Amino acid sequence: MSDPIRGQTAICGLGITEMGKVYGHDASWFAGESIRLAVEDAGLQKDDIDGLLVNPGITGMMGTGISIPLQGYLGLRNLRLLNHMNSFGATASAMVQYAAFAVHHGMANYVACIFSDAPLQQGGSAGAAYGGAGRRGPTGMASLMPAFGFYGANTSYALAARRYMERYGVTNNDLGRVSVTQRRYAVDNPHATMRQPLTLEDYHNSRWIVEPFHLLDCCLVSNGAVCTIVTTAERARDLKSSPAYVWGMGQGHPGNFPHAEVEVGTTSGATIAGETAYKMAGVGPEDVDICEFYDCYTYTVLRTIEDYGLAKPGEAIGLYPEDPADPEAELPRINTGGGQLSSYYMWGMTPISEGVIQARGSGGDRQIEKNDIVLCSGNGGTLDTHGTLILSPNAN
């Protein structure tokens, strides 16, 4: 049985800025551009926006990202809802969830949810863009990690991936199948940064980052912003663009921290969040048509597939063809825009934005024909936080 809120709210506007190595603008500028595009997409006026939820990216951790003052930068007055949110990669899902509850209960009419980031500097590397936050001098238990050569997400996810691979017999070639599959989709995505075709040979020839991860196992770093506008289903029906109705929502935060005597990164909050979202939507894993999953690394995709009940433990790789570069190969309906590996890295807004596109049926050459149930995920930390959205082109 579904929840009464199923299909009562919708994403009615979507704004995606130019992505990738786009220089000369800060996070506030990108945020402003994204809300302009989203308002235009919905057929609204800026003054119709009466709620604003913001999620800063890595620049937020360094004091140059968006926050509450973005309201003034955007010239939004008399807001009925305003918040700065951060549960890392799960935040985008949480913003849409809170916006949905707000419009459903009359706290606001149109809520803009914005992720914006601009960590890349011209002439600088992606490593330098994210390294700034790690060079701020951790103290306490956190200081022990770099002292023993444990630097950032690449290292923690690499350990989790190696554990998974040893446990289930998954190989680097299998991880490559995920990477090549997503590039196939990115080729047809005009928003994607990496659109040149990729082969398994290309994957294996890419340099090591932290074993077992090659460069092509790792997500991009991007400058840009995404804005979604959330309103009630009743209002959304009369607007310019087709709505993506929100059927299910959930969160799951397992607390897999290094000092908690757990295997960090080997399970995610998708199990808890998915159970909540499935119940709200009145559907199960067998009903899912399209998956848009947070894919900071190839391993993360496999882990997420299994935690949502879409495959048994260790068997997610069976959904992928042996050679995804073969034009005749049937691709799984997962990360259909290329994901964070090949399209753009806007944290949790990457899967949500593609989820909206697929639910609307506006994916062009990459559009999946059967799009009734679109499952979107976001995770933060080393699978420490998790958010789920289930979207549909149908109100009920």
What confidence tens digit (pLDDT) does each residue in 197-242 have? Answer: 999 999 999 999 999 999 999 999 999 999 999 999 999 999 999 9
Strands (E), the chain: 9-16, 51-56, 81-84, 111-117, 208-210, 213-214, 224-232, 244-251, 290-292, 374-380, 385-392
For the chain, the structural domain boundaries read 9-121+220-392
What confidence tens digit (pLDDT) does each residue in 189-202 have? Answer: 999 999 999 999 99
pLDDT tier for residue 260 given thresholds of 50, 70 and 90: low
What amino acid occupies position 41?
Answer: D
What confidence tens digit (pLDDT) does each residue in 8-50 have? Answer: 999 999 999 999 999 999 999 999 999 999 999 999 999 999 9
Nearest CA-CA partner of 30 in 74, 77, 62, 92: 74
CATH numeric code, 9-121+220-392: 3.40.47.10
User: The tokens 């011209």 sit on which residue?
Assistant: 122
Cis ω before 212 (30° cut-off from 0): yes
**What is the spatial distance between Cα 244 and Cα 374, in angstroms, rounded to a whole number?**
10
Residues labelled as active-site residues:
294, 345
Spatial contact of 288 and 320, defined as CB atoms under 8 Å apart? no
Average pLDDT over all residues of the chain: 94
**What is the spatial distance between Cα 32 and Cα 116, in angstroms, rounded to a whole number?**
9
pTM, 2 dp: 0.96
Question: In this predicted structure, what is the pLDDT of residue 131?
Answer: 63
